[in-house]
Structure 1
């Protein structure tokens, strides 16, 4: 047996004796380290990539053996401490989630901890790490906005996956999944508020509040106390704008869990000049909580930006996303209007007024609504018209969603929807199994369901919710307004939907289409979709007595 193999087997035995679970240690096969950041991105996409070498042993924080759960990289091949140091630093640089590199040749040892950008803490003669060790080594000086790192997609994805899949699930206080996600979201709102404050030039050199506090022996307690106080302050300030009636001004996670969340997030800029990072952060978080079977597929930022550009939205437009999710289309609309019309900070009041007056969003999901409100406040407000409720079941608005009834309802239209918008932009849930019942379609007076029923015994039929959203968008629009909507291509080319062109006649005219590659949603589904742009060319109204339609 080679000398390094003897060392490896000895270390593995000692780690197991310290309490490390065997299925959290990997050495067969050895873990492949990417050569470059580009190779790291390739690996995360499941593509072939070049390697800088293989780690002799890797320890994980859970049983997934995924890169987001990586804790420690061990090396035994390097003959001396100098070579071991060089190899560990190279490997640690390419594995963003690894907290510690550990080298030993059997007689000497070296531990290298990551602190911050190009900051390393070296400990010669270090003992082997134990499973419950705090591997965090805070930066030598308090972080400021200037020294926070702008994370790559891979770094941010890994950090958020780690929080959702590894950190909060082990919490002994919040044991239900929905409670864990809510509390994690509340910590992230504190981080978001922190970034909004310290990104301002006059505060950018001050130590940020969202960070690790205390010394080696009281870091967990002091950090948890500080973040709990910050959340209490944020809650008091935004209680009526962001939070639900059931929310409280306390983060219901253990100190240890809260500390670990802060450790993962505190080094990054989540809110800043680059909306891609902002959107990515919360899309990744939300993706971990969503069930793909529900038909809710988050829209990637690389899709959102050209789609909003194609709609040519201006400050004269009133805009709604009736399935807003985490508000990505609204954020991007606000960003583009600001960039195109009000780039000067002296005109910031104009963009704030635009956001408050003209941007609307609705969604059933409470997490998505809370995120959308918080982000709109942090960016340029616009949280006023972000509403929770079932957007398409209009017949339930008055009884179950009075805010929707107040903001979007109308007594002047038989279908109950006010025509108050010039733009509807949305990515509704879709899928063969996600449908609106015939009874709901009838109650909501959805004529598209009647069109689909042509030649059948029933007057209304069960219909995919994406098509119901298409009519809902049509109803929300003024004549001459435009709708941008992501829908499966099959609706417009399949024989099963041969009735759809007749329904569109006199209502919506196709004005453009943005091709969306199948890969855009491959994390969730393999449906081929496009972004369709329609203009509302006419108003067909329902005669309440005959349920027949006529042109207005």
Structure 2
């Protein structure tokens, strides 16, 4: 069961009671319906979208009993059951039928064919096919006595004419309630239909470019002016592409730190019109930040296959680590292996929440609170990643959710700082950060073998015990896993008393060959917490078992407590599927112990 439909089920359970096993409560009718994949992933999701995003009253929508249309002109029984029917009023009859939605799990070609059959013998002019993964919008019209069907960029909101689709004033845009579903549909469409582009990384970069066009248009369009990021019904795809390319030229001037001068919109005109049609009625800049983060990872995730140890740290673990570190509004924060920016974004969210609480307590006006948020994002958040694509993703991520993009740099964190760009050297200095948080790359095939880098690190050398059983630094290693060098670099970045939260391979703390690493950590820092995580955490990408270490950059005391926690369940299994259990009240809930850890840590007094 998807996260979206689980939320629907929980919401209706509170008012309608628990359905029988194998059933869910239909969002529109309130009736029990079988818990089929079509119902769970498509019908209920789109029904909710019609109400929450398109403003259609539930009374105008029919799911159960199903509305039926003719299978042929002579049909008097109306044999075809429609998954969702939308009417122009509370009266559900053929004269008022407005939109037909078909949700069978077929491919795009078959879905369109069946939708056309439904529309052909109905008075509805508009149709939608949605299978939980892709969406298709059609309009029906008659040419010389022949029924024709054309794809359209979207369907009208309640009260809007079909001809007005895309003609939104800036003030008409609203946050989306289910961006994850929309981004998933866009990603699947592009993967199957984009002309000339097949690599996930390139598709992801193109989406970033279009998102910046959307953000720019939202920020620089007057409230009463019609947005430029739009695609209208019957509008030529090339015309839409030209308008977006014009916006992109302005984006390149305003986001020079993210978008290269040589960057371009490489998607074909039809694909651009599709993406614009999906996003045009929403205000991305006003959408819930967690929703945007979820949606962004849905799209970007497939482009990260982990060949260089690049894996998204699961959101529940990211939040756990940030909550344990508990950054304040004034803390300077850095992730020296920031990847796509997950830790930075969660830390930004955490800090902004504190700013809001403080501002509300002191009676600050909203613009002053927003100004304080912006200042924190710009002044206090920094990130490094040597992968140009990932650093761009992180910049885009920070720009979409806040505006800390200027603090993200494409540099090799493990290299000598004098080899970084002047901007990175200015903004990122050793001993200047209150909090370092990171999940450095790991993998059997990853190794640093450059003497020029290795010799700058204590942990780039061999360590052997002397006659007093004390470790002494020896010869230079031939090669060293980057994760080990990151431990030293992270500690170098911290101020005295600063805190480090780092995801490491659990084997570092159990294998005799890494005993010197443990000794190094114990000698230089105060260990505050060790949280072991399930082997399933990074599956299905890698079987590596990891742990989280919370360290304080202070000399260790002879006697101090260490918070120890062993997490057994992380919310998904080895295939990445959600894990559920039935609680004491007989309700199904996600089996995930990760969110419990931070509160246990704080209660232990180790915050």
Residue of 534, 537, 545 corresponding to 2:554? 537
Which segment is superposed worse, 261-270 or 452-461?
A: 452-461
Contact 2:83 2:103 (C-alpha < 8 Å) held by counterparts: no
CA distance in 1, matches of 2:450, 2:464: 11
- The Cα offsets for residues 240-295 of structure 1, whole Å up to 9 and x where unpaired, read as x3223x534x4233322322332343355544342222222332333222232221
| Secondary structure class of the residue paired with 1:295 | coil
1:61 aligned partner: none
Q: 1:153 to 1:292 in 2, by over 3 A?
A: farther
CA distance in 1, matches of 2:78, 2:173: 29
- The Cα of 1:391 is off from its aligned counterpart by 0.7
Q: 1:492 to 1:253 in 2, by over 3 A?
A: same
CA distance in 2, matches of 1:503, 1:275: 39
2:82 aligned partner: 86
1:477 aligned partner: 494
- The Cα of 1:482 is off from its aligned counterpart by 0.7
| Secondary structure class of the residue paired with 2:443 | coil
CA distance in 1, matches of 2:104, 2:443: 39
- The Cα of 1:149 is off from its aligned counterpart by 6.0
1:486 aligned partner: 503
Alignment of 1:341 onto 2:355: yes
Residue of 459, 462, 471 corresponding to 1:447? 459
| Secondary structure class of the residue paired with 1:436 | coil
- The Cα offsets for residues 473-512 of structure 1, whole Å up to 9 and x where unpaired, read as 0111112111111122222233443332212122122212
Residue of 247, 261, 272 corresponding to 2:262? 247
| Secondary structure class of the residue paired with 1:404 | helix
Q: 1:401 to 1:51 in 2, by over 3 A?
A: same
CA distance in 1, matches of 2:493, 2:273: 45
Which segment is superposed worse, 106-115 or 261-270?
A: 106-115
| Secondary structure class of the residue paired with 1:497 | helix
2:319 aligned partner: 305
1:376 aligned partner: 398
Contact 1:96 1:155 (C-alpha < 8 Å) held by counterparts: no
2:424 aligned partner: 404
Q: 1:158 to 1:178 in 2, by over 3 A?
A: closer
RMSD of aligned Cα (Å): 4.4
2:230 aligned partner: 211
Query: Normalization by structure 1: what TM-score?
Result: 0.69
Residue of 431, 447, 451 corresponding to 1:435? 447
Q: 1:313 to 1:178 in 2, by over 3 A?
A: closer
1:191 aligned partner: 214
Q: After the TM superposition, which residues 217-366 of structure 1 pair with which residues of structure 2 at under 5 Å, given as runs?
A: 218-239=235-256, 241-244=257-260, 246-248=261-263, 250-266=264-280, 268=282, 270-343=284-357, 344=359, 345=366, 346-366=368-388
Contact 1:112 1:121 (C-alpha < 8 Å) held by counterparts: yes
CA distance in 2, matches of 1:196, 1:301: 28
- The Cα offsets for residues 414-441 of structure 1, whole Å up to 9 and x where unpaired, read as xxxx211111011221112112226255
Q: 1:178 to 1:326 in 2, by over 3 A?
A: closer
CA distance in 2, matches of 1:53, 1:522: 24
| Secondary structure class of the residue paired with 2:520 | helix
- The Cα offsets for residues 28-70 of structure 1, whole Å up to 9 and x where unpaired, read as xxxxx99x934999xxxxxx99654879xxxxxxxxxxxxxxx
CA distance in 1, matches of 2:291, 2:37: 30
Alignment of 1:102 onto 2:115: yes
- Which ranges in structure 1 are unaligned for 5 or more consecutive residues? 1-32, 42-47, 56-74, 410-417, 540-552
CA distance in 1, matches of 2:525, 2:71: 68
Contact 1:488 1:528 (C-alpha < 8 Å) held by counterparts: yes
Contact 2:532 2:547 (C-alpha < 8 Å) held by counterparts: yes
Contact 1:192 1:271 (C-alpha < 8 Å) held by counterparts: yes
CA distance in 2, matches of 1:452, 1:82: 83
Contact 1:102 1:112 (C-alpha < 8 Å) held by counterparts: no
Which segment is superposed worse, 297-306 or 371-380?
A: 371-380
- The Cα of 1:138 is off from its aligned counterpart by 4.3
Q: 1:472 to 1:106 in 2, by over 3 A?
A: closer
Alignment of 1:387 onto 2:409: yes
| Secondary structure class of the residue paired with 1:285 | helix
- The Cα offsets for residues 103-138 of structure 1, whole Å up to 9 and x where unpaired, read as 64999578852399xx987749998999xx635444
Contact 2:530 2:547 (C-alpha < 8 Å) held by counterparts: yes
| Secondary structure class of the residue paired with 1:362 | strand
Contact 2:71 2:78 (C-alpha < 8 Å) held by counterparts: no
Contact 2:434 2:498 (C-alpha < 8 Å) held by counterparts: yes
CA distance in 1, matches of 2:409, 2:119: 62
- The Cα of 1:207 is off from its aligned counterpart by 5.0
Contact 1:326 1:368 (C-alpha < 8 Å) held by counterparts: yes
Query: Normalization by structure 2: what TM-score?
Result: 0.64
CA distance in 2, matches of 1:515, 1:196: 44
Contact 1:342 1:350 (C-alpha < 8 Å) held by counterparts: no
CA distance in 2, matches of 1:457, 1:487: 24
Contact 2:71 2:79 (C-alpha < 8 Å) held by counterparts: no
